[in-house]
Amino acid sequence: MEISLLLAISLFAFVMSVTPGPNNIMLLASGAQFGYQKTLPHIFGIILGIAALLASVLLGLGLMFERYPQLYDVLKVVGSLYLFWLAWKIASASTDDNALASKAQNSRPMTVIGAALFQFVNPKAWAMVIGSISSFTLAGDRYIESGLWIMLCFALMGFVAISLWAYLGVAIKRLLTTPKRRKSFNYTMGAMTVATLFFILN
């Protein structure tokens, strides 16, 4: 694998992973609520989910979207409805100190499996996976090899990129010292989650 191609794949993976999207907004909120260490399963779930999507497209699932483009429209609708639900959950989360103390004992960050499965209804994830496979795979005998390098680049660069969002959430948590600030943060996160739909649907 040529170094120049690896660098191009790595840059593409980092830029696509670090730009705002549903995963990053949820990681920002999770970092603020649970801290970085407890958000790690969510991070690893995203990485595994993207790897599974890459593998499925490499093995031919991407052809279904080419033959039946309406499937992508269905995916957009399902993903959008799920994001609206997430936005409402985030925006309506309790900000009262006593309620938060009680909730902290019962609430859990997203699991590895939950985060991985979410990628299958995340239109941004599908877009960057299909884009990377169509742009960077090599023809012939090197097809699978190049696909595996893409998976590795997305795993490594993706981990760095999305960790930045979780760490940003941890940093923001220090400012969320009053119910009013927490409510403003929740409304902002809910609005940003909905805003990602404009990138997805365009």
Domain that includes residue 134, residue range: 22-201
50 occurs within a structural domain:
yes
1 occurs within a structural domain:
no
**pTM here?**
0.78
The total number of structural domains that make up the chain: 1
14 occurs within a structural domain:
no
Q: How far from chain centre, in Å, is Cα 158?
A: 9
pLDDT of residue 3: 87
17 occurs within a structural domain:
no
Rounded distance between C-alpha atoms, residue 161 and residue 19, angstroms: 9
197 occurs within a structural domain:
yes
127 occurs within a structural domain:
yes
Q: Sign of dihedral through CA atoms 197, 85, 191, 26?
A: negative
11 occurs within a structural domain:
no
Digitized pLDDT (tens) for each residue of the chain, 202 residues in all: 688 889 999 999 999 899 888 899 889 989 988 899 999 999 999 999 999 999 988 887 656 666 766 766 776 677 677 777 777 776 776 656 555 445 545 567 899 999 999 998 888 888 888 888 888 888 788 888 888 999 999 999 999 999 999 999 999 888 877 778 777 877 877 777 677 666 555 5
Length, in residues, of the chain: 202
